[in-house]
Structure formats: C-alpha cells, structure tokens
Structure 1
C-alpha cells in the first residue's frame, strides 16, 4: 500500500485547481486546496507538520507568499507551476482526465537562482500527467538538501537569527519526512527513485569539488558534536547520510573524509602538545555514519529484486 501524501495546493486558476484535484484523486493523496493567499498561509502554518509537498503557481504574489512561509519557519518540498499564458492556461479535461502539455523541469545542484530552496522543482509549461513524478522528485531533492545550503536570493539579507531558524526548520522537516517515508515505505517509493543525473560520478568536476567540500564540513560538524548532549546530532547524521545516499557516495569515500579530518585534528593536537588518543573514540562516529548509509543502500533495493 502506498502512503497518503499530504499536498498543499494554491493556484490562481480554478480550472487548474480542478484538474490537479482530478489527477491527484484517489487513496494516495490528501489534498489541501486553498482559494486565497490568506487561507493558504493559515493552513500551512497549522498543518506544516503534516504537509509533505506544496504545489504553487508562479505569479506576482508568489515571492510575498514564499517570504511569509519563510518568516513563519516553514520549509517544505515544492513544485512551482508556470504562470498562465495563452500557451499553457488551457487545461482540457477529457473523460475526467486533463490533457497534458509538454513541460521542462529545471534543477541544478548548487544552483542559487531559486525562490524557496535549492531543491524546488520549477516548470516551464504545465504537464499534469507528470505531476505525481514531480512531487516525488521534489520530495527526493528536498531530503538531499544540506542544512548549510545557501539561502534563497529573496532572503539573502535575512539576519542571523532568521537564518538559524531556516536551518532548524529544514532539518526538522527533513527528519519528519524521512521518518514518515522510512516507516510507511520501508525506504521504497521515492527512496529508491534516485536520479542518476545527480550521482557524484556524473557531476562536472567543479560540482564534485563543491559536494565533497560540503560533505567534509557537514561531517566535521557531526564529529565535533558527536559526544555532546545536543539532540540534533541524529538529525545531522540523517541529513549527511541523505546527501551521500542521493549522490551515490561510496562508503570508501566516507572513510576517506573521516581519515582526512582525523589527520587535520592530529596535526592540531601535536601543535598543542596534546595526546592523539582521543581521536580513536571517533571511530564510533564513522561506524555510526557508515551503518546508517549502509542500511539506506540495503533498503533502497526493490523487494522484487
């Protein structure tokens, strides 16, 4: 049985809203459709812990709406449909099914020209026959976001407190959504539908370098917090493992990152005249991370195989 995914929808076109309702009808989705900006913001604030993906339409009101979501501490997977035009505002319904129009999905790892976050899925034209796949893609990419990802252009001037809230909201939603998918899908569904386009080995060299540097920073943070009483450590590990999993990073690469970091710490301890024995304790950190990553790879294999 597929889980029910809760989808928050706010589009200006009544015809488009009706077509989305028809395409996403059935037992798999719970739809929360708003008719006004105020209604949309209210139900997202009230139900953000239950919403799994947002579907919005691009128009002049979208930046203020996204800014309001950010200010109320909301970060969720997002599909952005294009604004209405003569080419794409005619949604034809035949026998209860809309006739699709060609679409193009734009997402580039590390790209900074986005409105909500770097994992949003944006369309040039509407193709409602693909909306289920696009929702899964938005969720998958959202789960792979690093908590240290860049802020949207719209929020580049946010103060430090707002930025910290942004990171916390991202980690909280990722943890909630990943736990839901693990519990109800057993890592199947969107979990094994990784896009090879974003695999490490297929990335351009500059993107590979950026990804490895990001993983190193994330892993260093995990190591520094591992033996503390901070309860966010589990979320940090989950986020790190998600990023490695969706980029198809090998276990040997994780070991390499660990050893490089231990070498850096060793040199620092020598300069300070301190013993390196403490570094052996961080083998537990490596074992913990590898165990999580190995389990994701194991469960990502479809049962029928």
Structure 2
C-alpha cells in the first residue's frame, strides 16, 4: 500500500469539518484536526516534521495564521478552501447542481498573490470531493518550491542565521515529501534553487565568520555524539549539511572545519596525557558528512530535458 499521508486541518465550519472527516478518515491518511488557532499551533509544534499537508479554511483570519507560520519558518504544502465552503456539506457538493459560472470555475492552483507561498493550492467548494487528488497536487508543487526569497538590502547576522534555518527546514520537508511522492506518484526528483545573497562568499566578513563559527559548533556536536547511541545524530547531520548547502560551503571548507576541530582535540588529549589515535576514528564522521553534502550538490544540478 502507498504510505500514509499526515494531513492537518484547521476549519471553523462544522459542516466542512464533517465533510473532511468523511474524506480523510480511513487507511490513506493520518488526520490531525484543529478547531481553534491555539489548538492548530499546538499540533504544528508537536508534529511539524511529520505533517505532509495542511488543509485550511479561508474564513477571514487565515492571513494571520499563515503570517505566523511564515514567521516561524514553518512552510508546508497547503490546500486552501474558500470561506463559502462553510455552508456546503460533502453530500451537497456531490449532489447539488451548480450554476454554470460555478461549474466552470476550476481554478485550483496558487493565485497570483499567494496567501502562504507560491505552491499553495486553492479549491472551489464544488471540488471538495476531489480533495485527495488536490492534496497530492499540493505536495507535488511544494517539493519544487524554490527557497529563494527577497532579503532586505541591510540584514543582520541573526537574520541570516534565521533565514538559513528556515530554508533548511523547507529543504528537509521537500526531501521527505519527495520520497513519499516517489512511492505514491512516481515523482522523479527535485531541483533545489538557492539564494546567492546567502552564499558565504557574498557575506560581509563579520557575518561570514559568524556563520562559520555556528557551523563549527554544530560539527563539534556531531563529532562528540558520532559514536554514541544518540538518536538525534542523523538529524544533526542533516541540519549541518542543509545549512552548508544553502550557504554554498565547499567540501574543502568542511575539511578545514574538521581539521581545526581535530587539532583542538589533539591539544586537549596531550594535556591529559592521552593518545591521539582515537582521533583517527573521526575520519568516518568527515566521510559521512561529505557524502551527504556531495549528494545535496549532485541533486541540485538541473536535469537535462
């Protein structure tokens, strides 16, 4: 069977909630329902790394919700239902005859001025019975969503670090969902685009140094936990590689970070009168990280048409 998709819904309309219950109940989906804004953000906080798609009702307060999601750097596939859907039940949409103007309104792609992001999918209430297909479409569009966004001319180091973190989350979600689409839809791959403004070589010296110090600190934690049973290790490596990718860090720079850290450890071991041979084992850490980063760069090359 195809893998289950985890869908989080936030609607205020009871008829619409009942309709979603009929569509999303069953073996195909894991359904997380929220009926208030506070409940919704609690669900997001607990499950944002597992949620595959959001289904939201545009009831007038949605702009505030999507703005808060964007501020948190939580970008996810989304299907947006219009406000008038609150008065339409699932049975009504399957049986009711619609006026010609409504029947011809089949727009389900993102609008010119998207509310959340450029890959959002909007449905007319008459398309609600086809929601499953549009969820797949929203995910397919999301995995090709470019992380590039405009940055202010003047920005601080903290803002750059936040931007890299947000784009790292987007990339992780795209990779995870791409694998699900391969199983469900035969999706063949993703072309990731990056913002050259965030490349290390284009940053002012002070900000460049701050990013490198942050990466070195993260790499230190990876090394210290590499041979432990820490179940967060793979996530740490993914985060490190994603940030390196978006900052266009070269493999040679990663080797420099590794050698600098090994030199620090060597000095500490000498002070403690211990052998430095243990440091040789951490070549495996370097190989692991470089392999992950190399794969990221390989996948970023556009496929020939």
Judge same fold: TM > 0.5, yes or no. yes
Counterpart CA distance in 1 for 2:194 and 2:74 is 25
Counterpart CA distance in 2 for 1:66 and 1:93 is 29
Counterpart CA distance in 2 for 1:42 and 1:222 is 29
Counterpart CA distance in 2 for 1:150 and 1:106 is 26
CA shift for structure 1 position 179: 3.5
Instruction: Name the structure 2 match of 1:189.
Output: 185
Counterpart CA distance in 2 for 1:36 and 1:120 is 21
Counterpart CA distance in 1 for 2:195 and 2:41 is 37
TM-score calculated relative to the size of structure 2? 0.57
TM-score calculated relative to the size of structure 1? 0.57
For 1:163-205, what per-residue CA distance to the aligned partner results, in whole angstroms no more than 9, with x for missing partners?
33332221121122224444xx1xx5262699xxxxxxxxxxx
Counterpart mapping for 1:156-167 below 5 A:
160-167=160-167
CA shift for structure 1 position 149: 4.5
Seen in structure 2, the aligned counterparts of structure 1 residues 226 and 81 have a Cα distance that, compared at 3 Å, is same
SS of the equivalent of 2:35 reads coil
CA RMSD in angstroms comes to 3.9
CA shift for structure 1 position 32: 0.5
CA shift for structure 1 position 84: 2.0
Which of 250, 255, 276 does residue 304 from structure 2 map onto? Answer: 250
Which consecutive segments of 4 or more residues in structure 1 shift more than 4 A? 97-103, 158-162, 214-218, 220-224
CA shift for structure 1 position 126: 3.9
Residues 137 and 190, structure 1, Cα contact 8 Å, conserved in 2 = no
Seen in structure 2, the aligned counterparts of structure 1 residues 13 and 239 have a Cα distance that, compared at 3 Å, is farther
Seen in structure 2, the aligned counterparts of structure 1 residues 89 and 240 have a Cα distance that, compared at 3 Å, is farther
Aligned length: 211
CA shift for structure 1 position 233: 3.4
Seen in structure 2, the aligned counterparts of structure 1 residues 68 and 223 have a Cα distance that, compared at 3 Å, is closer
Residues 81 and 126, structure 1, Cα contact 8 Å, conserved in 2 = no
Task: In structure 2, list runs of 5 or more residues that go unmatched.
Answer: 152-157, 200-244, 255-288
Counterpart CA distance in 1 for 2:165 and 2:51 is 19
Seen in structure 2, the aligned counterparts of structure 1 residues 169 and 14 have a Cα distance that, compared at 3 Å, is same
Instruction: Name the structure 1 match of 2:107.
Output: 105
Which of 79, 91, 104 does residue 93 from structure 1 map onto? Answer: 91
SS of the equivalent of 1:105 reads coil
CA shift for structure 1 position 215: 8.5
Instruction: Name the structure 2 match of 1:83.
Output: 83
Higher helix residue share: 2
Counterpart mapping for 1:1-305 below 5 A:
1-84=1-84, 89-93=87-91, 98-99=94-95, 102=103, 104-107=106-109, 113-149=113-149, 160-182=160-182, 185=183, 188-189=184-185, 191=187, 225-227=249-251, 228-229=253-254, 233=293, 236-237=296-297, 240=300, 244=302, 249-250=303-304
Counterpart CA distance in 2 for 1:216 and 1:160 is 11
Task: In structure 1, list runs of 5 or more residues that go unmatched.
Answer: 152-157, 195-210, 252-305
